[in-house]
Amino acid sequence: MFTGSIVALVTPMTETGEIHYPSLQQLVEFHIKAGTAGIVAVGTTGESATLPIDEHIHVVKKIVEYAAGRIPVISGSGANSTDEAIELSQASAEVGADGLLSVVPYYNKPQQRGLIAHFEKVADACELPLLLYNVPGRTVTDMQAETVAVLAKHPRIVGLKDATGDLNRLREMQALLPTDFVLLSGDDATGCEFMLAGGHGVISVTANLVPEAMARLCAAATSGKAELAREIDAGLAALHEGLFIEPNPVIPKWALYRMGLIPSPALRLPMVEAELIHQKAIEQVMHNAGLLS
């Protein structure tokens, strides 16, 4: 279920910071028509850190309603408190999510044993399949391959989003994990090579702008069509880089606003709108990619 191009969806907002549900529905349709394989609702790109629990779950609920069973919806349900992660996971199940994406607890800097205890308790508390999410650039703590291997023994822990960008880490995990454990890249810039090395897909920021191209890239890479995959990826390389010249999702929101897909580039504080120089930089990349006239 959780393979191919899975979009890390933005949460569109008005200039005053309220969630804009009509454009959220438009984005869901945009991805379904483009062949996106799944949606991560309210993950990092969806500003999970600044949405209170009730609003977070309402967004997941609306995405599930808009998707209407046509595309899997994975709820970003991680937290640096185990009890909060359980609350988010159980509430996500109640509103119809198909799976969970649970990030390594941030700020606390737990030990590897703590990570095992945390994720096992979350998985025990909710019947949905759970994807682990390792992103040490944001969480500080780096979940080691041996820790993932222990957690993979849990029947509801089905995969990992690895955002280290380290292909050696992929090979290390492949040697320790069962073949049916889903390995997803969380780094667009290295996602193509990750899949060509045996990964199963990408949870993608770039897919917010070019879902059809990312779907074609993932299809080629996961079927071993290396030349085609690399050709598609080369055409997306400037976007992969440009979307991260400021912390995600600052630039993706600006880009989607310029494409007319969301009503404003607004974010929740402490994130603020992109610097003018970076707005112009991503607009040039988008022009070159044919996304702006």
Q: Which of 243, 173, 245 is nearest to 207 (CA)?
A: 243
CA 133 – CA 151 distance, rounded (Å): 12
Which contiguous run of DSSP H or E holds residue 161? strand 157-162
Q: Which of 39, 53, 51, 62 is nearest to 83 (CA)?
A: 53
pLDDT at site 1: 77
Q: Which residues are identified as catalytic?
A: 133, 161
pLDDT single digits (tens) 119-163: 999 999 999 999 999 999 999 999 999 999 999 999 999 999 999
Phi, psi dihedrals of residue 82, rounded to the nearest 5°: -60, -40
The response to whether 63 counts as a known ligand-binding position is: no
Domain ranges for the chain? 4-223
pLDDT along the chain (293 residues), means of 10: 96 97 98 98 98 98 98 98 98 98 97 98 98 97 98 98 97 97 98 98 98 98 98 98 98 98 98 98 98 92
pLDDT single digits (tens) 250-273: 999 999 999 999 999 999 999 999
Secondary structure class of 129 (helix, strand, coil): coil
Which fold is adopted by the domain 4-223?
A: TIM Barrel (3.20.20)
CA 140 – CA 143 distance, rounded (Å): 10
The response to whether 116 counts as a known ligand-binding position is: no
Helices (H) and strands (E) in the chain, counts: 12, 8
Q: Which of 227, 117, 132, 231 is nearest to 182 (CA)?
A: 132
Peptide bond into 263 cis (omega under 30): no
pTM: 0.97
CA 90 – CA 84 distance, rounded (Å): 10
pLDDT at site 293: 82
Which contiguous run of DSSP H or E holds residue 169? helix 167-174
pLDDT at site 270: 97
CA 25 – CA 34 distance, rounded (Å): 14
